[in-house]
Structure 1
């Protein structure tokens, strides 16, 4: 079970034209917005990434505006765990033992970064309705491969209810407003 005191969120490469080209992009972007807002409501640490932004473009405005004033970590490797700045940012959140992961593309950067986190001993919960690829088949391939490698597969509602735990929690009403 997820515990808010030991959970963080990693947002992978929701940027440029690709964010609009992934399968069911409107649904995906909307769910990522909800996940980020919920993480903020729960005071979870958030780290976000951009893959080669000079070539692929910056994080899309809907997501960037939610994450400001955080700055993205620019990377060029598909596995963010091969980037020293990312590893430092992850390690700086010393209380975090489990990372929720969302973003694009499920079968490339999301997959490789999640594997990198697993290899470093972190728990990984892939938020299945907050990841995307250009094709549904590639999204499913990434999810299945991560499940087989030991990542937990969750959904937006599932992880939020796990994190909040109790309908009397002060954050519950805000979270309920996001997912209903």
Structure 2
């Protein structure tokens, strides 16, 4: 299954300020999600974020909101964002059927959201280096479970280049200059 920017939506689940300090790999997850969020906005791929109980867990990490484009933020009470009627209705109305999914905690809200999306007929790509839990083993278990359910594991670079499709497009030059050239060579942890 190939990701297409005109069919895709980037969904960042619950990367919230007060939750991140206890998350294994939380800083890397935010950095990768923010980077892909910038690419998404440059390519006009919708960027959606969810927040679980923001009164207690705080809002989304501010680094996720630094991009120049628009984003939509959904507050939720269900662990599965797709179980929220307004979210499900807006997603259906968006015309997007591919969801690139990441966030925290992988084995709770991200997993349940992914399962809900798959059950509703969406294609789900699990952004491995930006999907984390308090314990890395739980993130890995969730990834394997979601893959068995029909999702596929991807990296941020895979997604960016699939959305770009070609190098002779004006958008490639812009994205390459603003995002791709600036990628660090630091090793990534894939969960």
TM over 0.5: yes
Q: Does the 8 Å contact 1:17/1:57 carry over to 2?
A: yes
Q: Does the 8 Å contact 2:41/2:69 carry over to 1?
A: no
Deviation, structure 1 residue 92:
2.1
Deviation, structure 1 residue 130:
1.2
Q: Deviations over 1:44-100 (max 9, x none)?
A: 012211001112111111113438754421101101111112112211211x11110
Secondary structure of the corresponding residue to residue 16 of structure 1: coil
RMSD over aligned CA atoms reads: 1.7
Q: TM-score with structure 2 length normalisation? A: 0.87
Deviation, structure 1 residue 6:
0.7
Q: Are residues 112 and 67 of structure 1, via their aligned partners in 2, closer, same or farther at CA, if it must alter by over 3 Å?
A: farther
Q: Does the 8 Å contact 2:22/2:134 carry over to 1?
A: yes
> What CA distance in whole angstroms lies between the structure 2 residues aligned with 1:163 and 1:68?
17
Q: Are residues 69 and 2 of structure 1, via their aligned partners in 2, closer, same or farther at CA, if it must alter by over 3 Å?
A: closer
Q: Are residues 51 and 21 of structure 1, via their aligned partners in 2, closer, same or farther at CA, if it must alter by over 3 Å?
A: same
Structure 1 stretches of 5 or more lacking a match? none
